[in-house]
Amino acid sequence: MRALVVITALLLLIAGSNGYGQYRMPGDDIRETVSRFGQAEVVVSYPGFDAMTKIASRFSVSSCDAREAILCLSGRDVDEFIALGIPYKPVIPEERKGFYTASSLSEAMLWQSYPTWQHYDTIMHKIAERWPGVCRLDTIGFSVMGRAVLALKISDNVAVDEPEPSVMLSSTIHGDEPAGFVLLMRLAEYLASGSTGGGLAEELVSGLEIWINPLANPDGMYRDNDTMIYPVRANSNGYDLNRNFPDPEVSSPPLQKETSDMIAFLEEKRFALSVNLHSGVEVVNYPWDKWTRLHPDDDWFDGISRRYADTVHLHAEPGYMVYLDNGVTRGWEWYIVRGGRQDFVTWGLGGREVTIEIDDTKMTPGSNLEMIWNWNYRSLLRYIAEALNGVRGTVADDDTGDPLSAKVFISGHDADSSHVYSDTVTGTYCRFLAPGEWTITFSSPGYLPLSFQASITAWNSVVQQDVRLQKPAYNYPAPPGSGLLIWPNPCDGKFSVMLPARITGDVTVTLTGVSGAIISSYSTSAQAGIPLTCDFSTLPPGIYIVSVRGEPFGPLLRGKVIITRPFPE
């Protein structure tokens, strides 16, 4: 409560000097706007970085600069905002009964207007049906109101999961930012139609697995209509989906259906590179959004963001995408965002994602869609092509050649989960790095680590390095038929755990006391016939329970370990 009072006091102080006080109302105007249009936007004075961070933790901020911020309020936010008494100016919504809506499917596919929901569904199916050799339509999940969240996979061997980097392009997680929606449908058609043309499109389709999700929030865009009349930022439950991803450092709002489905999809695909398209300003925004510190690969992130904006500047009218640092920013230097998809993918999944805002106008007129395409499509193609660069290869068992899931990291450089992993099924890995000399280490449970020197001579350098990891020169006991085999037991806190041969891949290891209190829990990867090594040598003597759970659906196995080493004084 004290923090809210501080925010209010700061805003009142600023309001007294800039004239916002005359706009202060009891809140009926906000309630009426939400009732009629599904949401309300209000402008508040910028209260400083710390206070703005507190505001952003409570309400969805759609844009912010050193003078003012625009908050987007859904029905679930209104009472809380009004109760704070923050001075504001209402943004008057535009009256409209249809927003540049195509009258037919053929008109919609000229990309000069917005499709109805039925048009969109048909367009996605038509692209997949017209180019079946390189396109496959998939469903990420379903919205709260039951609409499909669609994605097109575009690749030269579309029916096969190839050992090559995967890239995802997604748009309109905010339903009232529709320009990227049309842009990505058109990009899917461009890539599919050019997949045998001998140009960049063919190179991308043949070298990568590209996934395109034009509409991440169908309920926000279409609400209870087939036509995009008054789209809103949030989903049908009033939650901003780009503030809804897990963040272990803060209390997260209830996970929405669209978010849960998207997380499952992202965890399965493990995209090496991805992008999320928005509107409201014109800037390329890269991690971190939530931390006021640099990502370990900040130079690389800044480089790919700079190349996107600079390519736009070659083809756009002067003044386009020049916000902040000439069209580029680290997220936290703009304003703090918690629960964003960009940080979840980058920190939680070991991917690399940026957010690109492609138009100052949130609701881009249909007459401007051709212009937005011409200014951005080359930059998008070049962004996708970034996934062809870096250090790439496979990791496998030196004896059998079987693929391995290995941690790929750079000692003294990586932090905040900036390392990556090779794919569990194919063993492929992809590590994007700025130019320089890098010592890359590969490690997998039960294998000796291996390092090699990678020389990145330019931004478009490709270093191909296949890695074969060797097992140590000693014999392990045979895997048990069931349960856990723990040795030595008793021990000094360092012990090995052999799992049944059938349990491989991602596992969670948990150590509890006999009372059931959790002492430690962590994730690792299990290989058949290779023990997990555990080090709890700092614990006092006693009896402990070791649990190993196969992820994501089990089984759960338990065993007892006795630590007898005297506890240091």
Whether residue 567 is predicted with pLDDT greater than 80 in this model: the reply is no
**Using CA atoms, how far apart are residues 473 and 478, in angstroms rounded to an integer?**
16
**Using CA atoms, how far apart are residues 125 and 147, in angstroms rounded to an integer?**
15
Q: Which of 459, 433, 167, 199 is nearest to 310 (CA)?
A: 459
pLDDT band at 469 (very low <50, low <70, confident <90, very high): very high
pLDDT band at 436 (very low <50, low <70, confident <90, very high): very high
Q: What is the pTM of this model?
A: 0.82
The CATH superfamily holding the domain 485-563 is: Macroglobulin (MG2) domain (2.60.40.1930)
pLDDT band at 527 (very low <50, low <70, confident <90, very high): confident
> Looking at residue 22, what DSSP letter applies?
G
Average pLDDT in the chain? 92
Q: What is the pLDDT of residue 489?
A: 95
Whether residue 398 is predicted with pLDDT greater than 50 in this model: the reply is yes
Grouping H, G, I as helix, E, B as strand and the rest as coil, residue 220 is helix
391-469: in CATH 2.60.40.1120: yes
pLDDT band at 143 (very low <50, low <70, confident <90, very high): very high
Residues of the chain above pLDDT 70, percent: 94
What mean pLDDT comes out for the span 88-99? 80
The CATH superfamily holding the domain 105-388 is: Zn peptidases (3.40.630.10)
Provide the β-strand partners of residue 148.
142
Q: Which of 384, 465, 461 is nearest to 155 (CA)?
A: 384
Q: What is the pLDDT of residue 197?
A: 86
**Using CA atoms, how far apart are residues 375 and 337, in angstroms rounded to an integer?**
28
Q: pLDDT digit string (tens) for 40-77? A: 999 999 999 999 999 999 999 998 988 999 999 999 99
C-beta neighbour count of 412 within 10 angstroms? 8
**Using CA atoms, how far apart are residues 413 and 438, in angstroms rounded to an integer?**
9
Q: What is the pLDDT of residue 15?
A: 43
What mean pLDDT comes out for the span 539-561? 93
**Using CA atoms, how far apart are residues 339 and 285, in angstroms rounded to an integer?**
15
Please tell me the CATH code under which domain 2-91 is placed: 3.30.70
Whether residue 238 is predicted with pLDDT greater than 60 in this model: the reply is yes
Amino acid letter at 271? F
Note the helical H segments in 65-195: 78-84, 105-108, 117-130, 179-193
Whether residue 155 is predicted with pLDDT greater than 50 in this model: the reply is yes
Sequence spans of domains, the chain: 2-91, 105-388, 391-469, 485-563
pLDDT band at 20 (very low <50, low <70, confident <90, very high): very low
pLDDT band at 25 (very low <50, low <70, confident <90, very high): low
Q: pLDDT digit string (tens) for 36-50? A: 999 999 999 999 999
**Using CA atoms, how far apart are residues 499 and 548, in angstroms rounded to an integer?**
8
Whether residue 18 is predicted with pLDDT greater than 60 in this model: the reply is no
Whether residue 491 is predicted with pLDDT greater than 60 in this model: the reply is yes
Q: pLDDT digit string (tens) for 256-265? A: 999 999 999 9
Q: What is the pLDDT of residue 565?
A: 67
Whether residue 405 is predicted with pLDDT greater than 70 in this model: the reply is yes
What mean pLDDT comes out for the span 423-427? 90
Q: pLDDT digit string (tens) for 319-343? A: 999 999 999 999 999 889 999 999 9
| Topology match between the domains 2-91 and 485-563 | no
